Homo-oligomer: A and B are copies of this chain.
Amino acid sequence: MTGKLTVVGTGPGNPDQTTPEALAAIAAAHVFFGYGPYLDRLTLRGDQRRVASDNREELARARDALHTAASGEQVCVVSGGDPGVFAMAAAICEAIEAGPPAWRAVDLVIVPGVTAMLAVAARAGAPLGHDFCAISLSDNLKPWTVIEARLRAVATAGLVIALYNPISRARPWQLGTAFTILREVLPWTTPVIFGRAAGRPDEAIDIMTLAEADPARADMATCVIIGSPETRVITREGLPTLVYSPRSIGGGP
Protein backbone atom coordinates (compact mmCIF):
# COMPACT_ATOMS: atom_id res chain seq x y z
CA MET A 1 0.00 0.00 0.00
CA THR A 2 1.31 3.40 -0.98
CA GLY A 3 0.33 6.71 0.52
CA LYS A 4 0.86 10.22 -0.66
CA LEU A 5 3.66 12.70 -0.07
CA THR A 6 2.97 16.40 -0.52
CA VAL A 7 5.81 18.91 -0.26
CA VAL A 8 4.32 22.26 0.61
CA GLY A 9 5.67 25.80 0.63
CA THR A 10 3.86 28.01 3.12
CA GLY A 11 5.31 31.25 1.75
CA PRO A 12 7.41 33.83 3.59
CA GLY A 13 5.57 33.48 6.90
CA ASN A 14 2.62 35.84 6.59
CA PRO A 15 -0.51 33.61 6.54
CA ASP A 16 -2.02 35.88 3.86
CA GLN A 17 0.80 34.79 1.56
CA THR A 18 0.03 31.06 1.84
CA THR A 19 -1.90 29.80 -1.19
CA PRO A 20 -5.26 27.97 -0.90
CA GLU A 21 -3.54 25.04 -2.65
CA ALA A 22 -1.02 24.78 0.20
CA LEU A 23 -3.75 25.04 2.85
CA ALA A 24 -5.76 22.27 1.15
CA ALA A 25 -2.69 20.04 1.02
CA ILE A 26 -2.07 20.64 4.72
CA ALA A 27 -5.72 19.86 5.56
CA ALA A 28 -5.53 16.55 3.65
CA ALA A 29 -2.38 15.20 5.34
CA HIS A 30 -2.04 13.26 8.59
CA VAL A 31 1.69 13.30 9.34
CA PHE A 32 3.85 16.42 9.03
CA PHE A 33 7.61 16.55 8.72
CA GLY A 34 9.60 19.77 8.83
CA TYR A 35 11.91 22.15 10.59
CA GLY A 36 10.28 22.97 13.93
CA PRO A 37 9.70 26.72 13.35
CA TYR A 38 7.96 26.00 10.02
CA LEU A 39 5.69 23.39 11.63
CA ASP A 40 4.91 25.90 14.39
CA ARG A 41 3.21 28.09 11.77
CA LEU A 42 0.59 25.41 11.04
CA THR A 43 -2.72 25.07 12.83
CA LEU A 44 -3.21 21.29 13.01
CA ARG A 45 -6.18 19.16 14.04
CA GLY A 46 -6.08 16.54 16.78
CA ASP A 47 -5.76 13.74 14.20
CA GLN A 48 -2.70 15.34 12.61
CA ARG A 49 0.74 14.42 13.93
CA ARG A 50 3.94 16.45 13.64
CA VAL A 51 7.53 15.23 13.44
CA ALA A 52 9.87 18.21 13.87
CA SER A 53 13.57 18.06 13.11
CA ASP A 54 16.56 20.37 12.96
CA ASN A 55 17.24 22.45 9.85
CA ARG A 56 20.49 20.60 9.16
CA GLU A 57 18.76 17.22 8.87
CA GLU A 58 17.04 17.64 5.51
CA LEU A 59 18.04 14.32 3.98
CA ALA A 60 17.16 12.28 7.08
CA ARG A 61 13.81 14.09 7.23
CA ALA A 62 13.20 13.33 3.54
CA ARG A 63 13.90 9.63 4.12
CA ASP A 64 11.59 9.48 7.14
CA ALA A 65 8.83 11.18 5.18
CA LEU A 66 9.19 8.83 2.20
CA HIS A 67 9.31 5.78 4.47
CA THR A 68 6.11 6.91 6.18
CA ALA A 69 4.33 7.68 2.89
CA ALA A 70 5.41 4.34 1.39
CA SER A 71 3.74 2.63 4.36
CA GLY A 72 0.41 4.13 3.32
CA GLU A 73 0.19 7.40 5.22
CA GLN A 74 -0.87 10.81 3.92
CA VAL A 75 2.34 12.75 4.55
CA CYS A 76 3.15 16.45 4.24
CA VAL A 77 6.66 17.89 4.23
CA VAL A 78 6.62 21.57 5.09
CA SER A 79 9.01 24.24 3.83
CA GLY A 80 8.86 27.98 4.31
CA GLY A 81 8.75 30.00 1.09
CA ASP A 82 8.78 27.73 -1.94
CA PRO A 83 9.77 24.09 -1.37
CA GLY A 84 11.72 24.03 -4.65
CA VAL A 85 14.11 26.87 -3.80
CA PHE A 86 16.92 25.77 -1.46
CA ALA A 87 14.41 23.66 0.41
CA MET A 88 12.87 20.22 0.84
CA ALA A 89 11.77 19.29 -2.71
CA ALA A 90 15.37 18.61 -3.83
CA ALA A 91 16.11 16.61 -0.67
CA ILE A 92 13.02 14.47 -1.33
CA CYS A 93 14.16 13.82 -4.92
CA GLU A 94 17.67 12.92 -3.72
CA ALA A 95 16.20 10.44 -1.26
CA ILE A 96 13.91 8.94 -3.91
CA GLU A 97 16.79 8.44 -6.35
CA ALA A 98 18.97 6.74 -3.72
CA GLY A 99 16.16 4.89 -1.98
CA PRO A 100 14.26 1.62 -2.40
CA PRO A 101 11.92 1.11 -5.40
CA ALA A 102 8.87 1.60 -3.17
CA TRP A 103 9.79 5.26 -2.72
CA ARG A 104 9.58 5.86 -6.48
CA ALA A 105 5.99 4.57 -6.39
CA VAL A 106 4.89 7.16 -3.82
CA ASP A 107 2.36 9.68 -5.18
CA LEU A 108 4.48 12.84 -4.94
CA VAL A 109 2.95 16.31 -5.25
CA ILE A 110 4.95 19.51 -4.85
CA VAL A 111 3.00 22.68 -4.05
CA PRO A 112 4.80 25.92 -4.93
CA GLY A 113 4.86 29.01 -2.76
CA VAL A 114 6.07 32.60 -2.65
CA THR A 115 9.81 32.37 -2.11
CA ALA A 116 11.66 34.88 0.11
CA MET A 117 13.29 36.92 -2.65
CA LEU A 118 9.89 37.70 -4.22
CA ALA A 119 8.47 38.87 -0.88
CA VAL A 120 11.52 41.03 -0.16
CA ALA A 121 11.55 42.44 -3.70
CA ALA A 122 7.87 43.39 -3.43
CA ARG A 123 8.58 45.40 -0.26
CA ALA A 124 11.50 47.24 -1.85
CA GLY A 125 10.01 48.03 -5.29
CA ALA A 126 11.04 45.87 -8.24
CA PRO A 127 14.72 44.97 -7.83
CA LEU A 128 14.11 41.65 -9.65
CA GLY A 129 12.43 43.45 -12.55
CA HIS A 130 14.99 42.17 -15.02
CA ASP A 131 17.39 39.20 -15.31
CA PHE A 132 18.33 37.88 -11.88
CA CYS A 133 19.68 34.86 -10.04
CA ALA A 134 19.35 33.13 -6.69
CA ILE A 135 22.52 31.82 -5.06
CA SER A 136 22.90 30.08 -1.71
CA LEU A 137 25.92 31.23 0.31
CA SER A 138 25.95 28.00 2.25
CA ASP A 139 29.25 26.22 1.73
CA ASN A 140 28.12 23.16 3.67
CA LEU A 141 27.09 21.61 0.37
CA LYS A 142 29.39 23.16 -2.24
CA PRO A 143 32.97 24.44 -2.18
CA TRP A 144 33.43 28.14 -1.42
CA THR A 145 35.53 28.48 -4.61
CA VAL A 146 32.43 27.58 -6.66
CA ILE A 147 30.38 30.22 -4.85
CA GLU A 148 33.05 32.87 -5.50
CA ALA A 149 33.23 31.98 -9.20
CA ARG A 150 29.43 32.14 -9.51
CA LEU A 151 29.22 35.53 -7.79
CA ARG A 152 31.86 36.97 -10.13
CA ALA A 153 30.20 35.45 -13.21
CA VAL A 154 26.67 36.66 -12.51
CA ALA A 155 27.69 40.13 -11.35
CA THR A 156 29.90 40.58 -14.42
CA ALA A 157 27.05 39.39 -16.65
CA GLY A 158 24.75 42.07 -15.19
CA LEU A 159 22.27 39.92 -13.28
CA VAL A 160 20.67 41.06 -10.06
CA ILE A 161 21.65 38.64 -7.27
CA ALA A 162 19.45 37.27 -4.47
CA LEU A 163 21.50 35.60 -1.75
CA TYR A 164 19.85 32.86 0.29
CA ASN A 165 21.37 31.48 3.51
CA PRO A 166 23.62 34.55 3.75
CA ILE A 167 24.94 33.92 7.23
CA SER A 168 24.74 31.59 10.22
CA ARG A 169 26.69 30.86 13.37
CA ALA A 170 28.61 28.20 11.45
CA ARG A 171 29.20 30.50 8.45
CA PRO A 172 30.08 33.91 9.87
CA TRP A 173 32.49 35.32 7.22
CA GLN A 174 30.97 34.26 3.89
CA LEU A 175 28.65 37.25 3.37
CA GLY A 176 31.43 39.76 4.05
CA THR A 177 33.69 37.98 1.58
CA ALA A 178 30.85 37.96 -0.98
CA PHE A 179 30.49 41.76 -0.65
CA THR A 180 34.28 42.14 -1.08
CA ILE A 181 34.15 40.10 -4.31
CA LEU A 182 31.14 42.02 -5.60
CA ARG A 183 32.88 45.36 -4.90
CA GLU A 184 35.63 44.25 -7.30
CA VAL A 185 33.06 43.81 -10.09
CA LEU A 186 30.15 46.18 -9.43
CA PRO A 187 29.93 49.96 -8.88
CA TRP A 188 30.11 50.67 -5.15
CA THR A 189 26.91 52.69 -5.55
CA THR A 190 24.96 49.52 -6.51
CA PRO A 191 21.85 49.24 -4.29
CA VAL A 192 21.76 46.42 -1.74
CA ILE A 193 18.61 45.32 0.10
CA PHE A 194 18.63 43.42 3.38
CA GLY A 195 15.16 41.91 3.65
CA ARG A 196 14.27 40.23 6.91
CA ALA A 197 10.96 38.52 7.67
CA ALA A 198 9.21 40.22 4.74
CA GLY A 199 5.45 40.43 5.29
CA ARG A 200 5.69 39.43 8.96
CA PRO A 201 5.19 41.70 11.98
CA ASP A 202 8.96 41.81 12.61
CA GLU A 203 9.75 42.75 9.00
CA ALA A 204 12.84 44.89 8.36
CA ILE A 205 13.79 46.13 4.90
CA ASP A 206 17.07 48.06 4.78
CA ILE A 207 18.39 49.68 1.62
CA MET A 208 21.96 50.86 1.25
CA THR A 209 24.81 50.95 -1.25
CA LEU A 210 27.25 48.11 -1.86
CA ALA A 211 29.91 50.35 -0.28
CA GLU A 212 27.85 50.52 2.92
CA ALA A 213 26.67 46.88 2.97
CA ASP A 214 27.45 45.47 6.40
CA PRO A 215 27.18 41.69 6.82
CA ALA A 216 26.28 42.17 10.48
CA ARG A 217 22.83 43.36 9.38
CA ALA A 218 21.95 39.86 8.10
CA ASP A 219 20.80 36.81 10.00
CA MET A 220 19.45 33.40 8.97
CA ALA A 221 16.03 34.88 8.15
CA THR A 222 17.47 37.54 5.81
CA CYS A 223 17.44 37.49 2.02
CA VAL A 224 20.02 39.88 0.58
CA ILE A 225 19.41 41.34 -2.88
CA ILE A 226 22.28 43.04 -4.72
CA GLY A 227 21.35 45.13 -7.74
CA SER A 228 22.94 45.14 -11.17
CA PRO A 229 24.66 48.23 -12.59
CA GLU A 230 21.24 49.07 -14.11
CA THR A 231 19.36 49.01 -10.79
CA ARG A 232 18.00 52.40 -9.72
CA VAL A 233 16.81 54.08 -6.52
CA ILE A 234 13.84 56.44 -6.19
CA THR A 235 13.63 58.53 -3.02
CA ARG A 236 10.16 59.67 -1.93
CA GLU A 237 9.34 62.29 0.67
CA GLY A 238 7.84 60.61 3.73
CA LEU A 239 7.57 57.24 1.95
CA PRO A 240 9.95 54.28 1.70
CA THR A 241 12.67 54.41 -0.94
CA LEU A 242 12.00 52.30 -4.04
CA VAL A 243 14.65 50.12 -5.68
CA TYR A 244 14.00 48.77 -9.16
CA SER A 245 15.73 47.17 -12.12
CA PRO A 246 14.41 48.65 -15.38
CA ARG A 247 12.87 46.28 -17.90
CA SER A 248 15.43 47.32 -20.49
CA ILE A 249 19.17 47.92 -20.65
CA GLY A 250 19.73 51.64 -20.26
CA GLY A 251 16.06 51.79 -19.39
CA GLY A 252 15.97 54.37 -16.64
CA PRO A 253 14.40 57.76 -17.36
**Neighbouring B residues of A13 by C-beta, 8 Å:** none
Pairwise interchain contact B110-A125, C-beta atoms closer than 8 A: yes
When chains A and B are docked, how far (Å) is the Cα of A86 from the Cα of B158?
Answer: 15
Min C-beta distance of A159 to chain B, whole Å: 6
- Cross-interface CB contact of A129 among B86, B127, B252, cutoff 8 Å: B86
Closest to A131 in B: B135
Pairwise interchain contact B149-A85, C-beta atoms closer than 8 A: no
Per-residue B-contact encoding for A89-116, CB less than 8 Å = 1, 0 else: 1111110111000001101101111110
Q: Which 9 A-B pairs have the closest CB atoms?
A: A90-B129, A141-B248, A98-B253, A93-B244, A133-B133, A89-B126, A153-B157, A16-B21, A90-B126
Within 8 A of B (CB), among A62-107: 82-87, 89-94, 96-98, 104-105, 107
When chains A and B are docked, how far (Å) is the Cα of A11 from the Cα of B83?
Answer: 16
**Neighbouring B residues of A131 by C-beta, 8 Å:** 133-136, 150
When chains A and B are docked, how far (Å) is the Cα of A19 from the Cα of B10?
Answer: 11
A132 at the interface (CB under 8 A from B): yes
**Number of residues of chain A lying within 8 A (CB) of chain B:** 82
Pairwise interchain contact B93-A129, C-beta atoms closer than 8 A: yes
**Neighbouring B residues of A140 by C-beta, 8 Å:** 248
Min C-beta distance of A9 to chain B, whole Å: 8
Pairwise interchain contact A19-B24, C-beta atoms closer than 8 A: no
Pairwise interchain contact B133-A97, C-beta atoms closer than 8 A: no
Closest to A152 in B: B157
With known contacts A118-B112, A153-B154, A94–B247 Cβ distance under 8 A:
yes
Known: A90-B246, A104-B239. 17 other contacts (CB 8 A): A19-B19, A82-B118, A86-B130, A89-B121, A89-B122, A89-B129, A90-B126, A93-B126, A94-B244, A97-B252, A98-B253, A105-B239, A112-B118, A113-B118, A146-B249, A154-B154, A154-B159
Pairwise interchain contact B19-A114, C-beta atoms closer than 8 A: yes
**Neighbouring B residues of A128 by C-beta, 8 Å:** 84-85, 134
